[in-house]
Structure 1
């Protein structure tokens, strides 16, 4: 397998790397951030990397017959601050009603 890349001397285990560099192609890919910060859907605060109380919830979208559409979902991110104040349920209902997932569940006058 490596006979095309390396020239070997049959009397020893020496490998000649003279032509090895011709077969290598350098591919430079763009740099990608390892951490992409999220924002809380309820309060628009940035969710920090150390906020271990935060959650991200994906709600699947359905068609007219009630079947899940694969790969199509609505995402909500809730920070630990919103959850610790007990506002996560109310915020999720408000956001889902705003996006048309729920009807007549949340009202500001309550």
Structure 2
């Protein structure tokens, strides 16, 4: 984690780091992670609710800094393989900059 992969950092606190997604799905696509390892959002919320709140606050700060608060944005966590999680270090996706529409197709 500690600077091993190059990233465009857009926000950082003592407990969180936010950086641009390398495969963006929207004009603004930023990942917000806790600096300490937690596999998913449930693990983070259970073991360190204060840092979970820090992740949410950092996501809100990113959305504001990116100019997304007027028109809106999506904040999303993927959890587990069936939830679409590909990297097993909890991360929030901040997505916006255009209308995003529904993400789940009807079955």
- What TM-score do the two structures reach when normalised by structure 2? 0.30
- Larger RCO: 1 or 2 (CA < 8 Å, sep 6+): 2
Higher helix share: 2
